[in-house]
């Protein structure tokens, strides 16, 4: 019997553009699935007869499960293969939505949120482990940026896609169809034959990497860094519109245009940041510089009631700079990861996103309940300043066991190089 989860045989040489396209498609699915349930809240509220607090609880369950399982899944990705973990995650996430569509009830909604959270924990450890092993070292930043950009696109098209499906085939059908995307992409990745990060490590090093303590001070600091990044962006993304409307007299359309500019420019910034990350080794300084300007922009939005055009421009520039740092952020993690431990490293630091996802709705919701909309932006600016300071800490010179592309033409420490 053929094991479809097994890595391709060595004689089937990997092609880095094909691998990048496949892994980016998987990341697209992860962000697409994250937005399915929130977009269906009106339908679910009506069909299940529950409150929005009950529906929000499902998202909290999603964030908690994803946060608790990121690091263990990273360990599995490094030990049994990132490829297997990724295929399982795609299938599990899709099956969770299909299950809810076939058995629509509140208990099944909670069960679906648990499975979606578990599936979501797969993508960063598995994706980054494979990319770290199989991308050309000189193009690693751009590879990370394309991967991140694909996630942005998945989230961006989810609302319109779900709305169209609900209109045409109903909410139950929308859950089933959006869920089917996961197993379909998993099958596509099997057909393409994506490589396995751990297999590449063995092929390059000739032996398993020695056991190392993965919980290093650098990764602890980066986990806090990821948490601050999440907190600084979540307030603007989730509460920016209502804060602008209630605190500054901004119209609904202007506030939404400003947020759209912020999110759209973030996606463009990610692609630009990939080129920047490939042409510098001071990734922490890049992040610090971008977020220092961001803090000033967001503080200006907090203090001044800007007219529509300057407001939209400031939000767009803040979003662009926030996107620029994403590839440098990922390079910081890759550089801090011990050889052969990319899955665990990204699993650990990505927990910071989940911590931020748990804290931010409570914090910024409390701020809005206290009728302090200006502090949505003010608090975000404070988190950005803290992010700047921490980014500079992560950029301290350190000895690395990972050779550079220039000094090692045969490959990176994490895997075989492909042009």
Fold identical between 16-205 and 217-394?
Answer: yes
Q: Where are the domains of the chain?
A: 16-205, 217-394
Element (H, E) at 380: helix 374-394
Phi then psi dihedrals of residue 411, to 5 deg: 160, 170
Task: Determine the average pLDDT of the residues in 222-234.
Answer: 89
Q: How many residues appear in the chain?
A: 419
Element (H, E) at 93: helix 82-102
**Statement: residue 276 has pLDDT above 60:** yes
Task: Determine the average pLDDT of the residues in 70-77.
Answer: 85
**Statement: residue 242 has pLDDT above 60:** yes
Q: Are 160 and 227 in contact (CB under 8 A)?
A: no
Give, in words, the CATH class of 16-205: mainly alpha
Among residues 316, 286, 283, the alpha carbon closest in space to that of 298 is found at: 316
Residue 198 banded pLDDT, cuts 50, 70, 90: low
Q: What number does CATH give the domain 217-394?
A: 1.20.1250.20
Q: What is the pTM of this model?
A: 0.73
**Statement: residue 412 has pLDDT above 80:** no
- Percent of the chain whose predicted confidence (pLDDT) is above 90: 30
Tokens of 94: 């899709």
């Amino acid at each position: 019997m053929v094991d479809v989860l097994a890595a391709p045989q060595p004689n089937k040489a990997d092609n880095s553009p094909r691998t990048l396209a496949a892994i980016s498609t998987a990341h697209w699915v992860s962000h697409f699935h994250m937005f399915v349930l929130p977009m269906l809240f009106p339908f679910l509220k009506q069909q299940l007869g529950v409150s929005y607090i009950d529906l929000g609880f499902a998202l909290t369950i999603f964030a908690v499960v994803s946060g608790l399982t990121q690091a263990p899944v990273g360990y599995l990705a490094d030990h049994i293969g990132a490829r297997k973990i990724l295929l399982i995650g795609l299938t599990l996430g899709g099956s969770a939505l299909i299950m809810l569509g076939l058995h629509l009830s509140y208990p099944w909604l909670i069960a679906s949120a648990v499975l979606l959270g578990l599936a979501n924990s797969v993508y960063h450890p598995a994706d980054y482990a494979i990319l770290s092993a199989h991308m050309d070292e000189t193009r690693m930043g751009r590879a990370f940026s394309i991967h991140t950009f694909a996630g942005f696109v998945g989230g961006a098209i989810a609302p319109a896609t779900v709305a169209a499906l609900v209109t045409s085939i109903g909410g139950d059908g929308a859950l089933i169809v959006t869920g089917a995307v996961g197993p379909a992409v998993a099958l596509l990745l099997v057909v393409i034959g994506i490589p396995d990060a751990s297999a590449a490590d063995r092929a390059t090093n000739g032996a398993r990497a020695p056991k190392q303590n993965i919980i290093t001070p650098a990764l602890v600091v980066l986990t806090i860094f990821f948490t601050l990044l999440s907190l600084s962006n979540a307030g603007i993304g989730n509460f920016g519109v209502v804060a602008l409307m209630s605190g500054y007299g901004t119209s609904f359309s202007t506030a939404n245009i400003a947020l759209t500019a912020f999110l759209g420019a973030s996606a463009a910034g990610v692609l630009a940041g990939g080129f920047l990350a490939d042409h510098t080794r001071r990734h922490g300084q890049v992040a610090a510089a971008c977020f220092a300007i961001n803090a000033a922009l967001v503080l200006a939005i907090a203090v001044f009631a800007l007219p529509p055009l300057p407001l939209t421009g400031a939000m767009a520039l803040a979003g662009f700079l926030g996107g620029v740092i994403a590839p440098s952020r990922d390079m910081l993690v890759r550089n801090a990861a011990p050889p052969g431990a990319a899955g665990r490293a990204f699993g650990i630091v990505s927990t910071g996103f989940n911590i931020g996802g748990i804290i931010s709705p409570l914090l910024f919701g409390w701020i809005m309940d206290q009728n302090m909309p200006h502090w949505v932006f003010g608090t975000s600016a404070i988190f950005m300043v803290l992010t700047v300071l921490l980014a500079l800490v992560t950029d301290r010179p350190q000895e690395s066991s990972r050779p550079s592309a220039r000094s090692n033409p045969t490959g990176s420490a994490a895997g075989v190089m492909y042009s």
